[in-house]
Amino acid sequence: MRVTVRLFARLRDITGSAEMRRDIPAGATIRTVWTELAGEFPGMAPYERSMSSALNADYARMDAEVHDGDEIAFLPPVSGG
Amino acid sequence: MTTPLFAIGPAPLALEPLVSAIAARSDGVDGAIVTFYGLVRNHNQGRRVHYLEYEAYEPLALKTFGRIDEEVRERWPGMRIALHHRTGRLEIGEASVAIVTASPHRADAFAACRYVIERVKQIVPVWKREYFEGGDVWIEGATADPNDSKARAEAERIACA
């Protein structure tokens, strides 16, 4: 199955893309997607403890299961205001 | 056109329409309206700032505004709020965030206004990139977790101090 990954701020800079598609196995979680990306872009790894994740534009835990067509987002620490 | 109470996007902010939008929803019970503008400052941590660029995950940001609204009404029943955040390039002196709160009593309206900006900084998916003399840097503040009750309690503590 295929998911969309959205990346913001510094995570976008590290990967060079704001949005990408990834094929993932059935039963995958947000963590599966993160681990794969962090392997591909080692600069992402230090964010594992500080970033937040979202599933279909709602905050979600890393153990949330993902499905075909889902949009996953990885969010570095926020700085609005 | 009616001004929405919650919005995020590149358009310049204006408090006046937000105040009108909040006032239009009053049935006469309001005793106070409090407004807040967050501005782009020309210095930060010893750096001379030239301008900022804001980026947002807009659909989640809007949902998070709604969540903050719910939290406010849980803590201050009857409080009404409006919240706009700007994205894109902002020059020194421009407003990045506008907040309006309305309630029967001024103390609650002031406290809720402070609470909203503290929560914006904690949980809204917005990032600022600072362009300063000699470089640029993404500012990274809080790890966003709306269910972190300690962060929420801290925002309330600051608001009610």
What token pair was written down for B67? 């969540």
Helix (H) or strand (E) holding B80: strand B80-86
Going by pLDDT thresholds of 50, 70 and 90, the confidence category of residue A20 is very high
Flag if B60 and A50 touch (Cβ within 8 Å): no
CATH number of the domain within which A39 lies: 3.10.20.30
Does A70 have pLDDT greater than 80? yes
The whole domain housing A39 covers 2-75
What token pair was written down for A73? 């987002």
Across the interface, which of A73, A75, A79 has its CB nearest the CB of B139?
A: A79
> Mind telling me how many Å the CA of B3 is from chain A's nearest CA?
20
pLDDT of residue B69: 98
**Mean pLDDT along residues B93-108:** 98
Going by pLDDT thresholds of 50, 70 and 90, the confidence category of residue B144 is very high
With tokens 């001024």, the residue in question is: B106
Q: Calculate what percentage of chain A has a pLDDT beyond 90.
A: 100
What token pair was written down for B152? 């929420």
Complex confidence, ipTM: 0.97
Dump pLDDT digits (tens) for B53-92. Answer: 999 999 999 999 999 999 999 999 999 999 999 999 999 9
> Mind telling me how many Å the CA of B59 is from chain A's nearest CA?
6
pLDDT of residue B27: 86
CB atoms within 10 A of CB B125: 26
Q: How far is CA B94 from CA A73, B73, B88, in A?
A: 29, 29, 12
> Mind telling me how many Å the CA of B127 is from chain A's nearest CA?
5
**Mean pLDDT along residues B9-26:** 95
**Mean pLDDT along residues B115-127:** 98
DSSP B42: S
pLDDT of residue B1: 64
According to DSSP, the β-strands at B80-86 and B6-9 are: parallel
Q: CA A68, A53, B111: angle at the middle one, nearest 5?
A: 135
Which domains, from first to last, does chain B contain? Answer: 6-159 (3.90.1170.40)
A&B contacts, CB < 8 Å: 91
- Answer whether A25 touches B (CB < 8 Å): no
Q: B60: nearest CA in chain A?
A: A57
Query: From CA B122, how far away is CA A38, in angstroms rounded?
Result: 25
Q: Calculate what percentage of chain B has a pLDDT beyond 90.
A: 96
Q: Is the full-model pTM beyond 0.95?
A: yes
Flag if B60 and A52 touch (Cβ within 8 Å): no
> Mind telling me how many Å the CA of B27 is from chain A's nearest CA?
30
pLDDT of residue A44: 97
Q: Which is nearest to B16 in space by CA: B3, B29, B27, B6?
A: B3
Mean pLDDT across chain B, nearest whole number?
Answer: 97
Helix (H) or strand (E) holding B121: helix B106-123
Domain total of chain A: 1
- B101 beta partners: B34, B81
Furthest C-alpha separation in chain A? 39
Residue at A48 is within a domain? yes
Per CB-CB distance under 8 Å, the chain A contacts of B97 are 80-81
**Mean pLDDT along residues A28-50:** 97
On the CB side of B37, CA atoms within 13 Å amount to: 13
Going by pLDDT thresholds of 50, 70 and 90, the confidence category of residue B127 is very high
- Answer whether A42 touches B (CB < 8 Å): no
Residue at A80 is within a domain? no
Residue at A81 is within a domain? no
Q: Per-residue b/e over A42-62, b at no fewer than 16 CB within 10 Å?
A: eebeebeeebbbbbbbebbeb
DSSP B134: T
**Mean pLDDT along residues B13-33:** 94
pLDDT of residue B25: 86
**Mean pLDDT along residues A71-80:** 98
Residue at A33 is within a domain? yes
Q: Map chain A to HEC letters.
A: CEEEEEECHHHHHHHCCCEEEEECCCCCEHHHHHHHHHHHCHHHHHHCCCCEEEECCCEECCCCECCCCCEEEEECCECCC
